[in-house]
Amino acid sequence: MYGINMAKGLLVTLKNLTKKPFTVQYPEERVKQHPRFRGEEFVWYEERCTGCASCAKYCPLGIIKIVTTPSETAPAQGDKYRLELFDISINRCMFCGLCVEACPYDALFMGSGFEQGQYSRKKMVIDIDHLRQADKHPSTFFRPQLEEIGYDPRAGRPLDWQEVGRESWQWHEKEKAGMRINRPVPSDLMDQGLPVDSSFVEDSEPAPASTPAEEGE
Amino acid sequence: MNCVLGVDNVLHDTLLFRVIYEGVGHVLPCGLSYVVAGIAIMMLLVNGVLLGAGLFSWVERRLIGRFHNRVGPNRWGPFGTLQPLADLVKLIFKEDLTPKGADRILFTIVPVAMLAPVVLVMAVVPFAKDTALANLNVGVLYILAVTSITSIAIFMAGWASDNRYAMWGASRGVAVLISYEVPVVMSLLGVVMVAGSMSLNDVVSAQTVPFLLVQPLAFFVFFAGTSAELNRTPFDLAEAESEIIAGYHIEYSGVKFALIQAAEFGAVLTSSAVMVTLFLSGWSGPASSYLGWAWFLMKIGVLAFIFSWIRATFPRLRIDQLLAFAWKFLLPLSIINLFATALEIYFLRDSTGALDTTDLWIMAGINFGVAFACLLVFGTLIKEKVRPAGPLTGATLSTGEAD
């Protein structure tokens, strides 16, 4: 009959009337965010970063700029480069996460936020000061050690650099058994007289200090 | 000085008018107090309709939102109730543009010409006991005459805008309005015959059984025809957004646009009011002598809800489907309803020509049968023929079941 399907249509809309609306009213309500969400507030731990610029090399868009100088303190003892510049131009970033995957020292993490709207393009560049000061809510993307402890970047507290990396006790057989091996630690901690395992210190000549390594764009 | 309104005055039955008139009459001369009371009542009516339109615009947007599983406007005020105010302020502060080639005078008249019939209709609708502004003895005719002005206003808008889309929308609108006028009038004839009067007060008092039950077919035709005349979604060809942008009001902005929108939303309420009066026994109900207005508003609310529901549900018809619906479906139905009602009245009436409640119930029973049969038959007749499977819809396009 002519009207049957019209009646059916009316019933469909009437059913919707009794349902709770699907809309999530964003500023007040939020969709639950997965811990592996790749947000734009990159989390960077300077203490873990050696300035190897792997992230810059792996970035398919070439939007990470790193300028390093050799640290004068103790390069022979496994000290890292000192970073002069670490710019991530977020306006071309596609959040593929390859920089995070490339980082050999777990120093760079995807962020968990997405509310970094800016009014000018210049402000879309995350510079090193921004990275230093930003809240450390690392996403668990490509970081199984965070996922194992069930870390939720939106709900959890900010993590400091000692808590986020893949430490040797998480994979070294001896340390799994409870034995503690001393690791090389960053220079600022070495100054405080912390013990250093000599087996990890390469016994080589100091790196030539004359040529500052420059990578990226 | 005491002024007393004569019984022969058309406004005598309006309680509020009489009170104001006689109250003001203590200080002013009678002629002046008549004008003052008239203006007071007019202000009340116009502002009431406009406020109702504003409120209804919010209600409808919320309702349609919920029908679509959305939220609707909910930001300003509790549940977004101040949204119409925000819209109004926004529209008032917008620039009021007039196109270069427009007919300026016509262009300016149009919003008023659209709003006027909407407000004028309310003049004869009794919204409680003895509370119609004017108890016209040709109330139904007056309503039909006044609402026909809308088609002129629409065509004026289309013509004055100097815009092809506006002209297009206007011609569609006028085609729809003229087509749907016929079945609407025909369906009202049945009501008038049963009530035995064209005065809306008499129609209300004649409804010991709501005419929705006595004249189901007429109600259906009137409802469909009215929603077509209101240019609402299943029939909104005149302002089809996806086809001709906004139709006849494409060039309107600012306050004029606000007025046109107010007229459209207010028209829903006033048509609901007319339908309530003609088919849902108006203000009558339990305790209607002092709660008549509450019953009236409640019934209007129910009808407005159904209007919103239909708007939220159905997609737009094509123009040929629309006109076919009017001429091939609604018009025969209304004619059948007219003849059936006439025959029933001929056989059921008593010697004075009046119908009592039993007669009305008998008519309700017969008319429901007639309505069902007619909907079945004409629904089948008007069904679009499905194109037989030819080379175009062959095996390559099928879902593979044919193979």
Q: What pLDDT, in 10s, does the model give residues B236-250? A: 887 777 788 888 888
**Regarding predicted confidence, which is higher, B119 or A199?**
B119
SS3 category, A69: strand
pLDDT at A185: 44
Q: Is the pLDDT of residue B35 over 50?
A: yes
CA atoms within 13 A on the CB side of A193: 0
For residue A21, list chain B residues with Cβ-Cβ distance below 8 A.
65-66, 69-71
Q: How confident is the model at residue A186 (pLDDT cuts 50, 70, 90)?
A: very low
**What burial class does residue A74 get, using C-beta atoms within 10 Å of its C-beta: 0-12 exposed, 13-18 middle, 19+ buried?**
middle
User: pLDDT band for position B347 (50/70/90)?
Assistant: confident
Rounded to a whole number of angstroms, the distance from the CA of B370 to the nearest CA of chain A is: 16
Q: Does A31 touch chain B (CB under 8 A)?
A: no
- CB-based contact A2 B66, cutoff 8 Å: no
**B380/A19 CB distance under 8 A:** no
**Mean pLDDT in residue range B213-235:** 86
Residue B89 has pLDDT above 60, yes or no: yes
Mean pLDDT, chain B, rounded, equals 83
In terms of C-beta distances under 8 Å and separation of at least 24 residues, what long-range contacts does B260-264 make, across chains too? Answer: B260/B110, B260/B111, B260/B114, B260/B115, B260/B157, B261/B57, B262/B50, B262/B53, B262/B54, B262/B115, B263/B53, B263/B111, B263/B114, B263/B115, B263/B118, B264/B114, B264/B230, B264/B231
Q: Could you report the per-residue pLDDT of B132-161, keeping only the tens digit for each? A: 777 778 888 999 899 888 888 888 888 888
Mutate to test the interface with A, among B63, B66, B233, B316 (most CBs of A within 10 A): B66
Q: Do A21 and B67 touch (CB under 8 A)?
A: no
Residue numbers in B near A19 (CB within 8 A): 69
Highest mean pLDDT among A98-107, A150-159, A200-209, B279-288: A98-107
- Nearest-CA residue of chain A relative to B383? A2
Least confident piece of the model among A6-15, B220-229, B287-296:
B287-296
Q: What is the pLDDT of residue A58?
A: 92
Distance CA B36, CA A47 (A): 85
pLDDT tens per residue, range A122-170? 888 888 888 888 888 888 888 887 887 778 888 878 888 777 777 655 5
In this prediction, residues B192-204 reach a mean pLDDT of 84
The CA distance from B63 to A149, in Å, is 46
Hey, are the CB atoms on B71 and A6 less than 8 Å from each other?
A: no
Let me know: does B53 contact B262? Beta carbons within 8 Å.
yes
**CB-CB neighbors (< 8 A) of B383 in chain A:** 2
Nearest to B309 among A3, A13, A23 (CB): A13
Q: How far is B379 from chain A (nearest CA, A)?
A: 5
What pTM did the predictor assign? 0.75
Q: Read off the tokens for A99.
A: 């920089």
Contact yes or no for A99/A111 (Cβ under 8 A): no
Is a pLDDT exceeding 90 seen at residue A76? no
Predicted local distance difference test score (pLDDT) of residue A178: 58
| Inter-chain residue contact A12 with B309, CB threshold 8 Å | no
Percent of chain B with pLDDT over 70: 91
Flag whether pLDDT at B230 surpasses 50: yes
Q: State the pLDDT at residue A60.
A: 93
CB-CB neighbors (< 8 A) of A13 in chain B: 67-68, 309, 312-313
Residues from chain A that touch B309, judged by Cβ atoms under 8 A, are 10, 13-14
According to DSSP, the residues that pair with A43 across neighbouring strands are A109
pLDDT attached to residue B358: 79
User: Which of A18-27, B182-191, B205-214, B246-255 is the most confident on average?
Assistant: B182-191
Tokens matching residue B292: 């008549």
Between positions 79 and 118 of A, the ones with CB within 8 A of B are none
**Contacts with A10 from chain B: Cβ below 8 Å:** 309-310, 313
Cα–Cα distances (Å) from B348 to B206, B341, B343, B351, in that order, read: 16, 10, 9, 10
Query: Is some CB atom of chain B closer than 8 A to the CB atom of A120?
Result: no
Interface check for A27 against chain B (CB to CB < 8 A): the answer is no
Q: How far apart are CA B269 and CA B300, in angstroms?
A: 7
The structure tokens listed for B310 are 């239909």
**How does residue B390 score in pLDDT terms, banded at 50, 70 and 90?**
low
Q: Which two tokens stand for residue A11?
A: 């019933």
Question: What pLDDT band is residue B33 in, cutting at 50, 70 and 90?
Answer: confident
CA distance B47 to B40: 11
A-facing residues of B in 290-319 (CB < 8 A) are 309-310, 312-314
What is the pLDDT, as a whole number, of residue B329?
85
Is the pLDDT assigned to residue B343 strictly greater than 70? Answer: yes
